Amino acid sequence: MERTIDINRTLRATVISLIRLGVHPAILNPIVCSKFVKQVCYPKALYGCELWGILTSTEWLMLERTQHYICKNIQGLPRRTRNDMCLPMIGWFSIESYVDEKKLLFLGQICNLPCESVSFRILIRRVNDFKYNDGSHSNLGFTVDIMYILQKYDLSTYFDDFCETGLFPSPLVWKSIVKTAVAAFEIFIWTRRINIDDDFVAFKTIKKAYAPHSAWTIALKHPNLRKKSTLFDFCLLFSKRQWQWTIHAL
């Protein structure tokens, strides 16, 4: 629990530092802000997450709340915005899926090592202990966790084939497989949640794809539109006030 609290503090502090430096939706496009956060803040705060053990639901909730706070800030959304609305607006998945993806990629790196390497031999030894020994598995750490993650994303067949044949997809191919499986799982869970919630009836007509919103992508491709929209807002505000003054004069 203490480790998770420290991670939350580090993640928040790093993001706040970036915001003070100008990584803010008032200055940069939310997609650009997202890339800064994912490439700078997450690797620092979640360093070594590949070797984490199984976290409790309370710890995951703490991490998810921190991510929701960050996601709303970099998009300039109100704090009370529903989490299932703010994440797909920028194309983010849960932080649990981020950690799972890192663990799966780490597994791919080990499986592609030479058979003589120490890490490879340790993995095979612990996998055999997990499969064929009926004792406690609490001391196997990464091995137990990765087995559950493989089942979660329906990727167990790749590892089973590896244990039988010694063949495993190359790092690039495995990365593509993992990203596709994680995205499919997250989108399925998100779709199921919003389909049973009446609060998302209007939202589903606006947001039909789990990808950065068109408002962010168009503004990124045409940055001059931002200045024009600001001028347009100013003109509307001026016209509104002028109309109010006319009404009062009458």
Residue 187 contacts residue 178 (beta carbons within 8 Å): no
Return d(Cα 86, Cα 148) in angstroms, integer: 28
Return d(Cα 153, Cα 25) in angstroms, integer: 34
Return d(Cα 193, Cα 67) in angstroms, integer: 19
- Measured in whole angstroms, the distance separating CA 28 from the mean position of its chain's CA atoms is 20
Return d(Cα 225, Cα 24) in angstroms, integer: 18
Burial class (CB in 10 A: 0-12, 13-18, 19+), 1: exposed
154 vs 124: which has the higher pLDDT = 154
Give how far Cα 126 sits from Cα of 105, 118, 176, 197, Å. 18, 12, 26, 43
Mean pLDDT over 216-225 rounds to: 78
5 vs 206: which has the higher pLDDT = 5
How many Cα atoms within 13 Å fall on the side-chain side of residue 206?
12
User: If you ran DSSP here, which 8-state letter would residue 38 be given?
Assistant: I
Return d(Cα 239, Cα 11) in angstroms, integer: 44
pLDDT tens string 104-146: 999 999 999 998 899 888 888 888 887 777 645 555 578 888 9
pTM as predicted: 0.83
The residue written with tokens 């663990």 in the block is 103
Return d(Cα 49, Cα 23) in angstroms, integer: 25
Residue 186 contacts residue 94 (beta carbons within 8 Å): yes
Q: Residue 235's pLDDT is what?
A: 55
Of the pLDDT bands very low, low, confident and very high (cuts 50, 70, 90), residue 245 is: very low
How many Cα atoms within 13 Å fall on the side-chain side of residue 16?
8
Kindly tell me if the per-residue pLDDT of 28 is higher than 90. Answer: no
Q: Residue 63's pLDDT is what?
A: 93
Q: Residue 65's pLDDT is what?
A: 93
pLDDT tens string 60-77: 999 999 999 999 998 888
- Measured in whole angstroms, the distance separating CA 179 from the mean position of its chain's CA atoms is 11
> Residues 6 or more apart from 92 whose CB is under 8 A from it?
34, 67, 71
Mean pLDDT over 86-101 rounds to: 92
> Residues 6 or more apart from 98 whose CB is under 8 A from it?
42, 46, 49
Domains of the chain, by residue range, sit at 2-93+199-224, 101-175
Cα Rg, the chain, nearest whole Å? 23
pLDDT tens string 161-204: 998 888 999 999 999 999 999 999 999 999 898 888 888 888 88
